[in-house]
Amino acid sequence: MKIAAVQRLRRKLAADLPVWGMWVTLESPSITEMAVALDLDWVVIDAEHGHLDWKEIVDHLRATVRSETVALVRIAELNGALIKRALDIGADGIVIPWVESAEQLRQAVAFARYPAEGIRGIGAERATAWGQAFVEHTAEANEHVLVVPIIETVRTMRQVPLMCKVEGVELFFFGPADYSSTAGYRGQWEGPGVAEQILQMKDTIRAAGKHCGVIATSPDNQCERQLQGFRAIGLGMDSGLLLRSLKGALAAVGNDRPIRASLIPDTKPSVPPPLARPTESFRPDRPEVMNAVGAGLRTELARGVQFECLVGSHNRAKQLTTGFVTFAPGAILPQHTHTFTESITLLSGSITVEVQGRSYNLKKLDNLVIPAGLAHLARNPSASSPAVLHVALPTETPTRTLTDTFFPRRKMPDDSTGVPGSERCNRIATARRFAAGPNTEFIDCFNETLMPGIEMSGGYGLFQPGGRLPAHFHDFDESICIITGTATCVVEGRRYSMSDGATALQPRGRVHYFINESNGPMEMLWVYAGPKPERIVVDERCATVEGNPWK
């Protein structure tokens, strides 16, 4: 145990200074040596996930000897034998996953301390200088050992005030991905509402005089987390930092691509090599249009159901209409059909949509796509709260036909993804994601591959700070709605700041890109007036005033 390193860490935390660290998952102790050489305050050697064995763990611990970098080991579960072994081979403390109660936390502290305060056995290993320093080590270990729980389940939230009272615990980590999974948003780093809950727990912990840690997702996020009050901030995982650097280098040459779970690389990059400029055949015939919520055309579709059109015939869109439909509490849009496809995404509140009697309850950001000719209706089941939907239609002149055809009602499971060959339901918590550019996650919700015969394509995009797309244009009109955060839209050198549902109409041929220049995440819904979600990437100069190909 490196007493000086632990004391330095505590002094910084007591002074409300950040302590920077890294998660270690790869075998080479050179990784930890680099962290020590850069004077990181801490490393967590991960023995929960991955493949590190105890020999590799002790090699990482040895790389921190005679340094002021605190070495923690994340064990696989709350287990006395694992805690004892990690501490015996020289860890300065332990990180325990999935801690959900004060009682579990007290048990962890007991496992990490020698009697009489705990039940840790004394071993003749590295911690005691192989049995040569029993008295010295056991006299100081209980006072200095670090016990760090990870809060990563929804049920833990109510237990946090009690956990803050457990003696011997001064630092709590958060696991946003697992927390999101237990909240119903599997596969997301911070699903809807999760960020707010984590900040609420952080405030509770800080008010109790304790400290909080979390892994940052980007350099900008590091600064954001510090401003939020997190003090033990992870720069990332070793593998993640390596991949971030590799993907950034590949993106710079137009060769970035996602990594699949199969580990089989894509046969071609997700971003094709850029063209020098668009050909003359793509010269646009209209300017871009930025549309703020509240400035669109309003139509009452039914009693208590209002549609605000942001992209459509009124601003010269071609084969595309998008906007917001607001349902008053209890409002119903009667059963009807269209001669074209309709996309519906829930933004707030509750909505139930019936497609030929099949009833879907959508959660926030779930998307339902209804092909032409299928009778459907929608209702707001809440008696007190409105519901807001984003809708998209592959026409600039939308119409509907009311129908009273009876269909037996059948409630679809909450995880239903629709009916093959009919409607498609995209569940935000489980939808497949891919990278469309640095620091981005995209979901394809509908296109001709997913739904043969469809007339449009579209989906969801998440931009972390610094996330962006390359300069590009389309062979069709596009609607882009910013649903969370703030986006910068650049069109041939013209810059626009967009937020709060603002929706851009990008006509065919306009060179543009979106970038998140803020310190928080940004989310968008995008719709193409074409069945293939294709971007034609061009040289970045085409998106500047000087390089505008159409001037």
Residues (pLDDT < 50) of the chain are 269
By percentage, how much of the chain surpasses pLDDT 70? 98
pLDDT of residue 45: 98
Q: pLDDT tens digit string along 280-338?
A: 999 999 999 999 999 999 999 999 999 999 999 999 999 999 999 999 999 999 999 99
**What is the side-by-side order of every strand in the sheet holding 358-362?**
401-402, 332-337, 376-379, 351-355, 358-362, 410-411
> What is the pLDDT, as a whole number, of residue 254?
66
Given this model, what pLDDT does residue 268 score?
A: 52
pLDDT in the model for residue 307: 98
**What integer pLDDT is reported at residue 543 of this predicted model?**
96
pLDDT tens, 444-482?
999 999 999 999 999 999 999 999 999 999 999 999 999
Please give the pLDDT value at position 265: 78
Strand order in the sheet with 457-463: 289-291, 503-506, 478-484, 522-528, 457-463, 440-446
Which of 68, 75, 104 shows the shortest CA–CA distance to 89? 75
Q: How far is the C-alpha of 439 from the C-alpha of 216, rounded, in Å?
A: 12
Q: Spell out a b/e string for 173-210, using b for 16 or more CB atoms within 10 Å of the CB, else e.
A: bbbbbbbbbbbbbeebbbbbebbebbeebbebbbeeeb
Q: Residue 267's pLDDT is what? A: 56
Q: Are 499 and 536 contacting, i.e. CB atoms less than 8 angstroms apart?
A: no
Q: How far apart are CA 372 and CA 360, in angstroms?
A: 18
Residue 294 Rama label (left phi>0; alpha psi -120 to 50; beta): left
Q: What pairs with residue 70 in β-bridges?
A: 42
CA 227 to chain centre: 19
Q: What span, in angstroms and rounded, lies between the C-alpha atoms of 168 and 291?
A: 55
Domains in the chain and their CATH numbers? Answer: 3-247 (3.20.20.60), 280-396+424-543 (2.60.120.10)
C-alpha–C-alpha distance, residues 55 and 196, integer Å: 40
Amino acid identity, position 225: R
**Helix/strand/coil (H/E/C) assignment for every residue in 387-414:** EEEEEEECCCCCCCEECCCCCCCEECCC
